[in-house]
Structure 1
Amino acid sequence: MFDRQKKGERAVLVLPHSRGEGDTVRRAEEFTELVRSAGAEVLGSVAARVEDPNPRFYIGTGKADEVAEMVQALDADLVLVDHTLSPVQERNLEKHLKTRVVDRAGLILDIFAQRARSHEGKLEVELAQLKHVATRLVRGWTHLDAQRGGAIGNRGPGETQLETDRRLLAERVKMLTKRLEKVQVQRGQQRRARLRNTVPRVALVGYTNAGKSTLFNALTTGDVFAANLLFATLDPTVRRLDDLSCGPAVIADTVGFIRDLPHDLVAAFRATLAEARDADLLLHVSDAADEEREYLRKVVDGVLEEIDAGDVPQLRVMNKIDLAGAEPRIDRDDEGRPVAVWLSAATGQGLDLLRQALGELLGGERVRSELRLPLTAGRLHARLKAAGAIASENVDEDGWHLHIDAPRSVIAPLSGGSPAEAELLRGVLGDRRDEA
C-alpha cells in the first residue's frame, strides 16, 4: 500500500472534457491556476475526452495507464483531477496510480482551508471538509489528527480509522453545526441592525479574480487582501461607503464565484453569500479584458439564483479597462438608469462614475426639510443620524432643530416606527422640495 502521509506538492493534472463543453483551453488554464493557488507545482498534464464516464476510474483505462506512466516518469506525488470523482473512483485511481488523488471539489476545499481567516469561515470550511471526507473513508487510514496540515487534499480534518471515524465525524459535525448556528445568529442580528438603520446595502459579486477586492479597497480605503489568485477573498468584509449623493451606504466584499463550484461549498458559505442575498444592490464585477466575460457573467448569475439572490438589482462593473483599452463611461437603459460602469479599480479611472451611478440607483428623490424633535424623541434622532439623514442640527432646551437632506427611500422606512415618530416625520415626507 502506498504511503498516504507523503507530502504532495508535485502534481500531475488530469483534464477531462467532453464534446460541446466549450473552451477547454480556458478551463485547463483556470484549473492550472487553481492548482498553483493551492501551492502545488504542476509537472505535467493529461487531457482525457470523457463522453461515457468509466465507473471504475471516471477516465478510460488507457488514460489511467498514461497518467500512471507520467506520474512515475516525473516522480509526482499527487494527481489532481478537474472533475468531481465518486469515492470509489478516487480510491481506485489511487490504487492504480500508487499516489494520492484529489478531485476538483477537494482542491477547492483545500484552497478554502488555506484562505479562511474569520472564525466563522474556518468553521464553515472544516464542516464542508468533514462532509467531503465522510464519503471517502477506507480501512487502514490514519487517525483524524494525524493528517492535519501539509499537502493538498490533506489540510483540515483528514480521515480516521474505519472503526471509529463515523462516530468521531458525526460528533464533530454536530458540534460545528451548533457553533455555526450561534455565529450565524450573531451575524443575523448585525444585518438586522443595518436594516433598522435603513442604510442601503451593496454587495460585490463576480467571477473570481475579476478585481472585486481591489475595487472594494479603492472605494473604501479598506485593507482587504487582494492578489492575482483564485479565491483571494473568502470571508465577508463590510465597510461604510461615504461620498455618495444618496448619503452613506454599506458595502460588502464576497467570495468570488467559479464554474462548477461544488454545491456543498455554496451551502457551507452561507455567511459571505448572505451578504449578496440581503443586499439592496449587487455590483457585478467583470473583467472587461476577458473575452469570456459574458459566459462568466452567466456562471455568476447561476450561483446567485441558487442562493436566492437572482432577483436582487444589479449594476454591472466592467473592471480593468486599462487592460481592455476602453474609456471610463456609464451605460444607461432606455429610461436613463445606469446599467453598467466601465472603470479600472487599479488605476482609479471611472471610480467617480461608479459613485455617481450608486447615488442615482440607491437614492431616488431627495427630501430636504426642517424638523423639530422634542428631547423625548431621542430614538428617532439616533435613527436619523445613523441613516445619515441629518445635514446639520442645533439643540436647545426644547429639543433638536434638524436640517434633513437625504433620499426619500432612506427617510420613508423610519416612519414605520411608533405612531408618535410617524407623526413627526409626516410633515417631512410631505415636503417635496426635492433635488432637481
Structure 2
Amino acid sequence: MASSDQRIAIVIPARYGSTRLPGKPLADIAGKPMVQHVYERALQVSNAQIVVVATDDDRVAEAVRGFGGACVMTSADHPSGTDRLAEVMAQVDADIYINLQGDEPLVRPEDIVTLAAGMLADPSIQVGTLCHPIDAVEAANPNTVKAVLAANGNAMYFSRSPIPFPRDGDVATYLKHVGVYAYRREVLSEYCTLLQPMVEHAEKLEQLRLLAAGFCIRAWVVEATGPGVDTPECLEKVRALMAGKSIPTLPALTDIRMVITDVDGVLTDGGLFYDASGECLKRFHVRDGMGMRMLEENGVRVAVLSGRDSATLRRRVADLGIELCQFGIKDKKAACEQLMAMGGVTAAQTACIGDDSIDLPAFAACGLSFAVADAPIYVQQQASQVLKHAGGTGAFREVSDAILIAQGKLHVLGSAAGYACVMEKMAQ
C-alpha cells in the first residue's frame, strides 16, 4: 500500500485509576485537564488523520467530549496498554496506530511526526518507537527503560538495567526508551495471541513480547523529552514548566556524599522476633552490609538512624564499622541535620532511605530520598524515587550500587581487581 494511502490513528490511553495519582488524566494544568493538553498536541501531528482518547471511565469520557475531543470506551480489564489498543482497533479503522500516553502533556508533536513518517516510508517496519540519549546517572535508574539499537535502528533489547554494560568501567552510550509506539494493524491483531515470554515477566516491559516473537521494532532517536506525570511531584514539575517557571532540580547521585538509612523496614523486613530473654532479634540482608562498606571505602559516608534502640541493632552497626548513628530517635529531621553536621556534608549531598511515615521528616531534610518497594503509597509519593527492592531484601544495596556506578566506581563492584583495592576493610 502506498504511504499516501495509509491512515494513521493516534490513540491516547487515559485510565482514571492510577495508584500513585488517582484521576491523573483530569489533573488540572494551566486551566485544562492533562488529557486535553495531550490531545491538542496530537492534533498538531500533520501526518495523522485520527486522534482519539481511549478510556475505561465515564468521567474521563465526559471531560474529553466537553472539550470537543473524540473518545472511545474500552474495558477496564486489559493487562497492558497494547491490549487496550487492540480493542480500539475494532472501533477505529486505520492502517497504523500510534499509542501516545495520556500522561505526556509535554510531548513534542514533531517527534510523533518523525515516528509516523518513518512508518510510512518503510512498510517493512512492523513496530516503531522513540528514544533519546541519557547519561550514566539516569541509566542507573531502574525506572528508566534503556534501549540498545542495531546499526539500522532496530531495537536489539530493552531493559531496566544499564545496558550496554561497561565491563571495564568505561562510560557507555545509553539511550532512554520513550514509551510511544506505532503499530501496523496486523501486528495489533496478532499481539493478543502472543505468549508472555520470561523476559517480559522479569522486566515488566510489554515490548519484549514483540521482540521475543520475532517482530522488528525500529527506534528513532530524538532530542531529550519533557517529563511525564507519574506522581504528584511530577505533576507540580510539569505545571511549573508549562507556566514558564523555573523549578528546583534534585541533586544527582554524583553529588551524594552521605546516605542515611532507617533500620526496621529498610535494612530488615520489619519483622520483630524476641528470644527467651526478651532480646529483640532482627534479620539483616548481607548484601546491604557489603553496600555500606563499599560506600564508606569509596568516600561516601553511611549513617544509621533508627526510631528503635536495641543491643542487636548496636551490634550490627558496630560489626559494619558504621560510626555515624543515632538510636531511639523521634525527630528524624533534626537527627538528619545533626548527622550531616557530623559528617561535614550539606543536604544536597545527602540521600536517605525510609519505609514509613516516621521517615517523612528525613525525606524533607535530605536532598534525595528513596522509599523501599513495599512502603505505603503515601510514603512512596513523597520520595524522590521508589526502589525495586523491598525492605530487608537488598534495598540499601540497590541505592549504594546506583551511587557507585554514577560516581564512576563500577570497577569496584564488577571486577576482582577493583574489589581487591578495598577488600581488606570490607565486612558484610
Same fold (TM over 0.5): no
Taking structure 1 as the reference length, what is the TM-score of the superposition?
0.27
Given the two structures, how large is their TM-score scaled by the length of structure 2? 0.27
More helix by share: 1
- Structure index of larger Rg: 1
